[in-house]
A = this chain, B = another copy of it.
Amino acid sequence: MTLLSRKADYALLILSYLHQNTGGGNARTVADKFGLSPSFVANILKELAHHGFVAGHRGVKGGYALARPADTITLAELLESIESGFRLTMCNPSLPDQHHEQCSLAGACTLKGPLTVVHNRLLEVLRAVTLAELFDPNGSLSQPSALLSLSLLPATTTTTCRSEPATVTQA
């Protein structure tokens, strides 16, 4: 299975382009840049604009530009918008407020709680990544050796790690 759909993947690419070219660009320019279908790029940009990530300006000199700084957008937030809600399983809704009991096994299922914890752990990883980090070619995410440094990290205990209960306060 693939976590990011192709649409979300291209959305990241497009946002990366708009991030580097601060002047922004129109759909055709972006599509030409990446060799994609102009209609497809236009649709993705429309969806991004609808969710408030980019701002579109119409007219002959219009185009798209980032509506918010890239370091204020987390990967989790983008995926929650582009993909239709990030869930671990069918029975674990990401939004805890709407608890539609569509699963017939909800009573006998003992995995619901533990799976929710795993889901929150994954969400924490996505929340810790901002688009600015993702787009920075010299950032901490660009070193492939960062994976190895996982095991040989100095024993600096992450004392300041606030363990939030990970409650997505969705209005």
How far is A9 from B151 in the complex, measured between Cα atoms in Å? Answer: 31
Across the interface, which residues of B come within 8 angstroms of A159, CB to CB?
146, 149-150, 153
Across the interface, which residues of B come within 8 angstroms of A162, CB to CB?
128, 163, 165
Query: Is A60 an interface residue, CB under 8 A from the partner?
Result: no
Choose among A129, A130, A147, A169 the residue with the greatest number of B CB atoms under 10 Å from its CB.
A147
Choose among A3, A109, A155 the residue with the greatest number of B CB atoms under 10 Å from its CB.
A3
**Which positions in A face B, CB cutoff 8 Å?**
1-6, 8-9, 12-13, 16, 33-35, 52, 74-77, 79-80, 83-91, 104-105, 108-111, 113-122, 124-130, 133-135, 137, 139-151, 153, 155-166, 168-171
Given contacts A1-B3, A168-B168, A168-B169, 20 further A-B contacts (CB under 8 A): A1-B5, A2-B87, A2-B88, A3-B3, A3-B122, A33-B108, A34-B108, A75-B118, A110-B135, A114-B135, A117-B141, A118-B126, A118-B141, A121-B157, A127-B168, A147-B163, A147-B164, A147-B166, A153-B155, A164-B165
